Amino acid sequence: MSIHQLYHEVIKQHSRSPIGAGKKMASTHGADGYNPSCGDELNIYLELNADTPEAEIKSVGFNADACAICTASASLLCQHSAGKTVAELLTDIQAFAQSLNQKSPVPIQSLECLSAVVKHPSRINCALLPWQTLRKAMSTPINSNLSNEQR
C-alpha cells in the first residue's frame, strides 16, 4: 500500500467513524465555524481547566454538517487535542495551517494524513476549518446552562 493510499484510508476511517462527533461532555468553551466554499458547518466545544495558555484541554467534541475532509480533520483534532495545553494547541494550529497554506508536509505526525489535501487546493479550507474554529473556541467561554443539543 502506498503512503497516499494509507493517508486516504485514514481520512476515510475518520470520516466514517469520527472521534468526538456528538460527544456529550461538560463544555466550558465553544465556537461555530463555516466554510462558504464547501458549505461545511461545525461547532467545536471543549472543556478547559482554566482560561490561560497553561490550561489543559480535558476533552474536545464537535457537531458537524460537513464534507469528509472537514469531518476527518475534526476527528483528528479531537484525537490530537486531549491532554494538551492551550499554548501547545495554538502552536500546533499555526504549524498545521502554515504547512497546508504553503503546500508542504504537515510537521505533526498524528496529522500527516491531512497533507494529502495540498494536492487539492479547494479542499485546504475544509481541513483547516475545525482547527480555526478550535482556536476561536479556546477563547470563547460558553454558558454552562446550554446542553450540547442546543449548541
The percent of the chain in helix, strand and coil, each rounded to the nearest 5, is 50, 20, 30
Lowest mean pLDDT among 21-25, 48-52, 59-63: 48-52
What does the mean pLDDT of the chain come to? 87
Contact indicator for 78, 44 with CB cutoff of 8 Å:
no
What's the CATH fold of domain 3-146?
Sufe protein. Chain: A (3.90.1010)
Q: Does position 144 have pLDDT exceeding 60, yes or no?
A: no
pLDDT confidence of residue 5: 60
pLDDT confidence of residue 147: 43
Global pTM exceeds 0.85: yes
Question: What's the pLDDT tens digit per position in 95-123?
Answer: 999 999 998 888 888 898 898 888 888 89
CA distance 6 to 19: 18
pLDDT band at 9 (very low <50, low <70, confident <90, very high): confident
What CA–CA distances, in Å, run from 125 to 67, 93, 120, 135? 11, 13, 10, 15
| Cα 17–Cα 22–Cα 25 angle in degrees, nearest 5 | 125
pLDDT confidence of residue 92: 95
| Cα 16–Cα 36–Cα 127 angle in degrees, nearest 5 | 40
Query: The cell 499555526 sits on which residue?
Result: 94
